[in-house]
Amino acid sequence: MDISEVARRSGVAASALRYYERKGLIRSLEREGARRKFAPAVLDQLALIALGQAAGFSLDEIGAMFTPGGAPSIDRALLSAKADELDRTVRRLQAMSEGLRHAAACPAPSHAECPSFQRLLKAAASGALEPGAQRRTPRRPGR
């Protein structure tokens, strides 16, 4: 397949395909004039790249998931660690959502009088609501 067909079938822009090739994520077979040619298996590689990006892996991490020949070779421990990270993110976002929903419907006369909203503010001020907060020490007020 030439690069335009790969772009059409995968939904990945030709410029991104060229970038992925420069990064070593995919490999063209040959050039026919100025046009790159790819094996049909590149569509599976692009699907794996898209899945990896959706899960939050960097392109370098995704690149390590392929053998030099382009076959998947995925480290299960890395997948497990990423799943744990996603679980922490989901819990953090769920807590944030619940806090905001409570604040929106809170019967307190003002948010300043709502203990739940005050806890949410303190968590935000400490940095506990930021991504990766479980690995960092909380910020001190005024910083």
- pLDDT per residue as tens digits for the range 58-96: 999 999 998 888 888 889 999 999 999 999 999 888 888
| 56 and 89 assigned to the same domain | no
Model confidence at 132, pLDDT cuts 50, 70, 90, reads low
Alpha-carbon distance of 118 to 116, in angstroms, equals 5
Structural domains in the chain (count):
2
Q: Please determine, for residue 143, whether its predicted confidence score (pLDDT) is greater than 70.
A: no
Tokens at 8, concatenated = 């059409």
How many whole angstroms from its chain centre is CA 138?
24
140 pLDDT above the threshold of 80: no
User: Encoding tokens for residue 134?
Assistant: 């479980």
pTM exceeding the 0.85 threshold for the entire prediction: no
Instruction: Tell me the CATH number at 38.
Output: 1.10.1660.10
Considering the domain boundaries, does residue 7 fall inside one? yes
19 and 51 in one domain? Answer: yes
Query: Is 70 domain-assigned?
Result: no
* 93 found inside a domain: yes
39 lies in which domain range? 3-63
Domain membership flag for residue 52: yes
| 80 and 46 within one domain | no
Task: Clarify whether residues 92 and 44 are in a common domain.
Answer: no
Whether 110 is covered by a domain: the verdict is yes
pLDDT classification of 21: cutoffs 50, 70, 90: very high
